[in-house]
Amino acid sequence: MDPSLFPLFGLFTVLLLVTGLYCVVATRNFIRLLIGLEIVTKGVTLLIILGGYLSGHMALAQALAITLIVIEVVVIAIAAGIVIAIYRKNGSLDANLMKNLKG
Amino acid sequence: MNLMLLTAMLLAALWAVFTRTLLKSAIALALASVLLTVIMFQLKSPLAAVFELSVCAGLITVVFVSTISLTQPQSDAQVLAHAGQRLRRYWFLPVLLALVVVGLDCAHLPLDFTPPTPEEAGLDVRNVLWNMRPTDLLGQVIIILAGVFGVVVLFKEKA
């Protein structure tokens, strides 16, 4: 295992996480928010695999990555269903216009 | 090679965030998944890479395209107006990022990796998943069931 890989991969993992977080924070469109969440999950998956590669625990890292991917797909599927339901109810995907629950 | 793949994946993620069209954003996300698959193969994780390719680059892209087709996107004028506001509102984020990177570099975090025992080094992924982490599998089954019921309820037609 080559420990010198960590700075390069670590930097790009952080950049992926920041890109995804920026997308989640800065967008008003619900679908783009889900895309941001996806990008964050990709960064985390890369970090798990990188940790497994550098430490030699590849089997465990792959098992955790597979678990994460399964959770990710279910979350996105349910969130997409909620987005479609929101669109059917409100006619828009703009988060600023969602004032149904405002007290 | 690794640098090229990582740069391409980051560029695909940035394209997914900044492109105006949602469909292009979904395609850019699929491209990022494909590049992550190649990186995972480079890091000796073939099973996880195959999962990433089939599920994230395939299934999730289909989910996004279906969702986009079932919802009406914003008009070009609305997208342009929001893009202009977004740049003005979040100008401080790159500065904050640079400060965090400098801070982490100065912190000199200890990154000691414990090498695996010979027994651990010889383990197969399937052995780990089915025999050592059954709780994870139970969690996955429960989440998948929850997902199925959730989708059925969300798309149920009202009588």
* More confident site: B27 or B137: B27
pLDDT (tens digit per residue) in A12-36: 998 999 999 999 988 888 899 999 9
Write the CB contacts of A98 (distance below 8 Å, at least 6 apart in sequence). A86, A90
What letter represents residue B142's amino acid? I
Cβ pair A76:B70 closer than 8 A: no
Give the Cα-Cα-Cα angle B90, B14, A27 (nearest 5 degrees): 45
> How much is the pLDDT for A102?
65
- Are B21 and B69 within 8 A, CB to CB? no
> How much is the pLDDT for B117?
60
Distance from the Cα of A103 to chain B's closest Cα (Å) equals 25
Torsion of CA A37, B139, B121, A40, to 10 degrees: 0
The pLDDT confidence band at residue B136, using thresholds 50, 70 and 90, is confident
> How much is the pLDDT for B138?
82
Assign B142 to helix, strand or coil.
helix
The percent of residues above 90 in pLDDT, for chain B, comes to: 18
Cβ pair A31:B133 closer than 8 A: no
pLDDT (tens digit per residue) in B54-90: 988 888 998 898 888 888 666 666 666 666 666 666 6
Residues in A closer than 8 angstroms to B25, CB to CB, are 31-32, 35
> How much is the pLDDT for B87?
64
The pLDDT confidence band at residue B132, using thresholds 50, 70 and 90, is confident
**E strand intervals along B116-155:** none
Cβ pair B86:A27 closer than 8 A: yes
pLDDT at residue B34 is higher than 90: yes
pLDDT at residue B118 is higher than 80: no
pLDDT at residue A96 is higher than 90: no
Which of A44-58, A82-96, B4-18 has the least mean pLDDT? A82-96
Measured between alpha carbons, how far is residue B151 from residues A81, B63, B82, B141 in Å? 6, 12, 31, 15
Cβ pair B45:A62 closer than 8 A: yes
Write the CB contacts of B43 (distance below 8 Å, at least 6 apart in sequence). A49, A50, A52, A53
Is the Cα torsion angle B44, B47, B48, B51 positive or negative in sign? positive
> How much is the pLDDT for A20?
92
> How much is the pLDDT for B98?
78
Alpha-carbon A4 to chain mean position = 27
> How much is the pLDDT for B27?
93
Query: Could you give the CA distance from residue B147 to residue A35 in angstroms, rounded to a whole number?
Result: 19
Got the DSSP string for A15-30? Answer: HHHHHHHHHHHH--BH
pLDDT at residue B12 is higher than 80: yes
Searching chain B, which residue's CA lies closest to the CA of residue A14?
A: B101
pLDDT (tens digit per residue) in B40-60: 988 888 889 998 999 888 889
Q: pTM of the predicted model, to two decimals?
A: 0.79
> What is the CB neighbour count within 10 angstroms for residue B92?
8
From the list B36, B45, B67, the residue facing A31 with the nearest CB is: B67
Pick from A32, B58, B144, B71: which is nearest to B152 by CA?
B144
Query: Could you give the CA distance from residue B146 to residue A16 in angstroms, rounded to a whole number?
Result: 29
